[in-house]
Amino acid sequence: MTAPIPHPGRTLTETDRTRHRRLREQGSLDRAALDAILAAGFVCHLGVTVDGSVRVFPTVYGADGTTLYLHGSVASRSLLAAPEADVCVTVTHVDGLVLARSVFEHGVNYRSAMIYGVPRTVTDPEEKLAGLRCLTEQSAPGQWDYARRPNRKELAATALLALPLDEASVKIRTGAPDDGDGPDAALGLWAGTLPLHTRWGALRPDPALGPDITPPPHLTGRAGTPAS
C-alpha cells in the first residue's frame, strides 16, 4: 500500500456528523490514525442519494494525504449524482473476532474511517492523471510506471471524484473481551480473540501470456505479504 503522509500532532476537527456519541472510547481524533487506515486499503463504500433513494456502492480509491480520489465510469449514476450532494465514504478493516463469555459481549476488532463532504468531479487533465496514478499506486505500487497509461478515449470514459479529507470520523477497537472482570468470568468459559490476517497470494499469469514474459519485481515481491 502507499505510505501515509504523516501529520504529526494534528487532530481531526469534530463536527456534528463526526462526533462520537456511542462507544466513545473507540473513537480517535488522531489525524495520523486516519492516514494509516486509508493507506492500508484500496476499496471503499460510497454512500450517496440517487433519485431520492440512499445507495451504497463499492469502488476503489486513492488518498494523497489531503484528498480522497474515487474512481468509476462516466456511466455510473452514483458518481454523476455525487457532486450534487453530500456523500459518506467508509473504509473498514476487520482485524479479528472478540469472543466473550456471553454472546452479548461479542464484538469485532476493527479499524474504520468515515469521510463526509461534497465531492467535485475532476476535469483538469493533469489532476485527472495524478488522481488515477494515486488510485493505481494505492492498490499496486509500481504498476503505474509499468503498465500502459490511459489514452484520451479512456480518460474521457472515466469519472474521477475528489473528496477533501476535512471532515472524518475514526474508530478503532483492539484488545480482549470486556467481561473479564464481570459476573460471567465465573462461568469457566474460554474467552479471547480470533485474529484475522489477509495476505497476498502467489501470482497467477494470464493464460494468454507468452512464455518469455515474466512478472515485474514490484508484483513478485508482494506474494505472501500482508494485504492490510
CB neighbour list of residue 11: distance below 8 Å, 6 or more residues apart: 29, 30, 31
* Residues whose CB is less than 8 angstroms from the CB of residue 211 and which lie 6 or more positions away in sequence, other chains included: none
Q: pTM of this prediction?
A: 0.88
Which SS3 state, helix, strand or coil, does residue 199 take? strand
* In contact, 174 and 109? CB cutoff 8 Å: yes
CB 176 within 8 A of CB 193: yes
| 54 within 8 A of 137, measured Cβ to Cβ | no
pLDDT value of position 221 = 94
pLDDT at residue number 18? 82
Mean of pLDDT values over 166-186: 94
Kindly report the number of other CB atoms within 10 A of residue 38's CB atom: 28
Query: Which pLDDT belongs to residue 79?
Result: 62
Question: For 34-74, what is each residue's pLDDT tens digit?
Answer: 999 999 999 999 998 887 888 898 999 999 999 999 997 76
For cell 474521457, the residue is 156
Show the CA angle centred on residue 143, arms to residues 80 and 164, nearest 5°: 40
Given a cut of 50, is residue 187 above it in pLDDT? yes
Give 113-133 pLDDT, tens digit per residue.
999 999 988 999 999 999 999
CATH topology classification for 24-196: Pnp Oxidase; Chain A (2.30.110)
What are the domain boundaries of the chain? Answer: 24-196
Task: Give the pLDDT confidence of 193-226 residue by residue, as tens digits.
Answer: 999 999 999 999 999 999 999 999 999 999 889 9
35 φ/ψ angles, rounded to the nearest 5 degrees:
-60, -40
Other beta carbons within 10 Å of 1: 19
